[in-house]
Amino acid sequence: MIKAGLIGLGKMGISHCAILNAHPNVDLVGVCDSSKFILSALEKHGSMKCFTDYKQMIRQSDLDCIFIAAPTRFHAEMVCHSLEKGLHVFVEKPFCLKIDEGRKMVDLAIKHNKVNQVGYHNRFIATFNEAKRIINEGIIGEIYHVLGEAYGPVVLKEKGSTWRSHKSEGGGCLYDYASHVINLIQFIVGAPQHVAGTVLKSIYSQDVDDAVYTTLLYKNGISGQLSVNWSDEAYRKMSTQITVLGKDGKVIVDATECKIYLRRENKSEGFEKGWNIRYITDLTDSVDFYLRGEEYSAQIDHFIACLLERKTENVSSFASAFETDSVVEMLVADNSSRI
Amino acid sequence: MERIILGDNQFFAVNHLSDEKSRAQAMRFRTTNAIIEVLDIAYDLGIGTFMCTTHDRIAEVCEHIRSQPSRYQNFKIYPCMPYAHKYANAVTEYGVIEALKRFMPGKMLETAAKGGFALIRKDFMEMMKLLVDAEMKMFTGIKTEVIFLQNIITDLILGLGMYDFFVGFAKHIKAKYGAEPGFITMNMPFLLDVLEKQGILNPIICASINKIGFRMSGGKESYEKTIMERKFRPMAMQVLAAGALAPEEAMEYVCKQKKIESIVFGASTRNHIKQTKELIEQMSSRFGL
C-alpha cells in the first residue's frame, strides 16, 4: 500500500480525498487543512487522521507521497518541503505563480528523483488523447493553426470574496481557466514560443481578469488563438474545445467527442472522406472508483502507477506544467506592455 | 416502483455524448412550458413517474402540477438531490461556510436558528437534514415515494468513508417524508457492500447499467454478478450509454437481467417516448416479466 497525505480540502482537495480514500493501492493516512470546519466533519464522520499543520502531518505520518490542493500561492513552499522530505508529489494546477519558483521545483524533483505530477486532468480524457494521436500520426497532414477555447459560468456578478477574486493568490480566468487550455494545446500540438495581441479582460471582477484572448506564435510557422471566458452564463459548466487545422483535414475535440474532417479517406484508420466522429463512450476505459469524471480517477491512478513502477516520467509532469506557467507569464507581460 | 420512469437530463442540457447536443437541448427547453409539454406526453402514454434533480426550474414544474390536481392525480416525482452545480458554484463564489449558510433555509426564524446552531456546533447530521428539507420544499403536495441522493454526493460520501450519512439520510427520508430512500451511484457493487454493512438492507440503487460498461465502475461483470446474486432493488439508468448503443440491444441487455426493477430514460418527443416505452414492454415480456 502507498501511504498518502493530502493538503487542502477545497473543491479539488475533497474530490482527491474521496478518490484516494477509495483507491485499492492507497492508504490515505493524513489530511490537512487550515479550516477546522471541514476537518471536523472528516474527523467526526470519517476515519482519516486530521492535521492543521502540514509539516506536522509529514513528520508524524511516514508518507510515501503527498497531494497538494492548497491555494496556488502556497504551492512552491509545500512542494519543496515535501520533496526535501523524500516524498513523491502531486500538486494541483496551476503549478505556481512565479517562474523562478517553478524552475526550482522542477529541478528539485529531478534532483531527488521523485514522481512529480500536476493536476491537469484534461490530459487524462480519452477524446483529447485520441486527438493527440491523430495529429501526431499525421492523419490531418501538416498542422498550420490551432484554436483553444473554454467558456463557463464562474464569475457572473460584480462581487466575489474567495481567493479566486485576488490576483496575488492566483485567482482570475488566466490562472484558473486559461491555464487548462494552454496546457491542452501544449499537450496536443506543443507550446508556442511567442504570444501577441493579448487581452486580459475584466468583465465583472475588480482585481482579476474574466476573459483571456491572445494569438499564439510558433517557430515552425504554426499559429494559434486562445479564447477563454469564465463569465459566460450560456454554459452550464466549463466547456473546453480545441480545434486543430492541418493541410489534409482538421480535428475539433472536446471532453465528449472528437470530430475529424478529412479531405481524403483513410482506410487503415477506418476514417471516411469528410466528417468522422469518435465518442467518449467508445474511447474511455472504466475506472475502479468514479466520482466526477473518469479523468479525475485516471490521473491519480497514473501517479500511483508511476510510484509503484518507480518511473518518474509522467503524462503531466512538473516540467510540462512549468511550460504552461511560462506561456501564462508571456501573456501577462504582453498584456501589460500595452497598458 | 414503476417499471418505466422518465428522467430529466434532456431538459437541463446534460448530454454525456456531445456538448453540441446539450446546447441544442438548452435551446429547446428554455421555457418551463416546453418541459411540461413533454411530461404531459409521457403521462398520457402511461408513464406517471418523473425522476428529476432539484433544479430551480423543477420548482416551476411542481407549481404547475399542484395547480391541476385532478389532471395529475397519479403523477409522481422521484426527487434526486442536490442539484450539485448550484452548491459547487456557490462554494466557488463564497467559500464553504458562507455557501452552506445561504442554502440552509432562513425564511422561518425557527429553522434559521436551528441551522445557525447546527453550523456553530458543527452538527453535520443536522445540517444534512436541513439541506434535505430545503431541497424538498418545492415538492410540497406532490407524491414523492422515493427520494434519491444524487450520485455526486452518494459517491463522495462513499469515497470519504462517511457512511453514517447514508444512515442519517435514510432515516430522515423515512421519518419525515414517509418515503423510501434511494441512492444513485457510479460505483454500485461498492455502494451495496457499504449500505448493507450500515444496516440499510434491500436498498433502492440507481446506477448506470448498459451493455458497453459505460460508467460502471468496478466493471460490467461485477455489476452483472451483483445484480444476479445480491438482494437489492436495482434501477437502471444510462441504458443507452449516452446514445452509444442501439435501443434494441440496449434494452435487451437490461431486460434480460430480470432483477432490475425499473428503467429510467430520457426523451423529448412523443415518438421517442412511445417507442422507448413499447420497446421496454416488448423486451420485458420476451424475458417473462
Q: Looking at the structure, do residues A131 and A191 belong to the same domain, yes or no? A: yes
Task: Report the range of poorest mean pLDDT among B11-20, B174-183, B234-243.
Answer: B11-20
Q: Looking at the structure, do residues A306 and A263 belong to the same domain, yes or no? A: no
- Inter-chain CB proximity B156 and A21 less than 8 Å: no
Q: Which of residues 172-201 of B touch A (CB under 8 A)?
A: 186-187, 190
Q: Looking at the structure, do residues A17 and A163 belong to the same domain, yes or no? A: no
Asked if residue A207 lies in contact with residue A263, where contact means CB atoms within 8 angstroms, the answer is: no
Question: What average pLDDT does this structure show over B50-78?
Answer: 95
- Inter-chain CB proximity B160 and A236 less than 8 Å: no
Say what the pLDDT of residue A268 is: 94
Question: What average pLDDT does this structure show over A197-213?
Answer: 94
Distance CA B214, CA B260 (A): 17
Q: Looking at the structure, do residues A329 and A308 belong to the same domain, yes or no? A: no
Q: Looking at the structure, do residues A308 and A260 belong to the same domain, yes or no? A: no
Bridge partner list, A253: A242, A258
Nearest to residue A8, comparing CAs of A60, A63, A79? Answer: A79
Query: Which amino acid, one-letter code, is at B104?
Result: M
Nearest residue of B to residue A236, measured between CA atoms:
B13
Distance CA A249, CA A245 (A): 6
Say what the pLDDT of residue B79 is: 97
Which H or E run contains B225? helix B220-229
Of A161, A236, A279, the CB nearest to B17: A279
Q: Looking at the structure, do residues A52 and A7 belong to the same domain, yes or no? A: yes
Work out how many domains chain A is built from and give that number: 2
**CA Rg value for chain A:** 20
Q: Looking at the structure, do residues A240 and A270 belong to the same domain, yes or no? A: yes
Asked if residue A289 lies in contact with residue B159, where contact means CB atoms within 8 angstroms, the answer is: yes
Which H or E run contains B103? helix B96-103
- CATH number of the domain to which A68 belongs: 3.40.50.720
Say what the pLDDT of residue A230 is: 94
Helices B56-67 and B32-44, axial angle in degrees (round to 10): 50
Question: What average pLDDT does this structure show over B186-211?
Answer: 98
pLDDT range class, residue A132, cuts 50, 70, 90: very high
Q: Looking at the structure, do residues A183 and A268 belong to the same domain, yes or no? A: yes
pLDDT in tens, A95-115: 999 999 999 999 999 999 999
Q: Looking at the structure, do residues A248 and A134 belong to the same domain, yes or no? A: yes
- Inter-chain CB proximity B158 and A18 less than 8 Å: yes
CB-based contact (8 Å) between B249 and chain A? no
Nearest to residue A204, comparing CAs of A154, A167, A156? Answer: A156
Residue B167 grid cell: 444512515
For residue A332, pLDDT beyond 80: yes
pLDDT range class, residue B112, cuts 50, 70, 90: low
- Interstrand relation of A274-279 and A257-262 (parallel, antiparallel or unpaired): antiparallel
Asked if residue B184 lies in contact with residue B151, where contact means CB atoms within 8 angstroms, the answer is: yes
Helices B32-44 and B270-286, axial angle in degrees (round to 10): 40
Mean of pLDDT over chain B: 90
Distance CA B118, CA B116 (A): 5
- CATH number of the domain to which A245 belongs: 3.30.360.10
- Inter-chain CB proximity B244 and A40 less than 8 Å: no
For residue B111, pLDDT beyond 60: no
Test the A interface: residue of B93, B98, B184, B211 with most A CBs within 10 Å = B93
Nearest residue of B to residue A160, measured between CA atoms:
B93
pLDDT in tens, A177-204: 999 999 999 999 999 999 999 999 999 9
Test the B interface: residue of A9, A19, A45 with most B CBs within 10 Å = A45
Question: What average pLDDT does this structure show over A297-314?
Answer: 95
Chain B residues touching residue A41 (CB < 8 angstroms): 122, 124, 162
Sign for the pseudo-dihedral over CA of A237, A131, A189, A12: positive
For residue A122, pLDDT beyond 80: yes
For residue A13, pLDDT beyond 80: yes
Task: Report the range of poorest mean pLDDT among A87-91, A255-259, B96-100, B134-138.
Answer: B96-100
Chain B residues touching residue A38 (CB < 8 angstroms): 96
Q: Looking at the structure, do residues A190 and A45 belong to the same domain, yes or no? A: no
Q: Reduced to 3 states, what is the DSSP secondary structure of residue A61?
A: helix
Q: Looking at the structure, do residues A201 and A301 belong to the same domain, yes or no? A: no
pLDDT in tens, A139-187: 999 999 999 999 998 888 886 656 566 766 667 999 999 999 999 999 9
Structural domain of residue A228, as residue ranges?
125-286+324-337
Q: Looking at the structure, do residues A95 and A145 belong to the same domain, yes or no? A: no
CA–CA min distance B15, chain A (Å)? 9
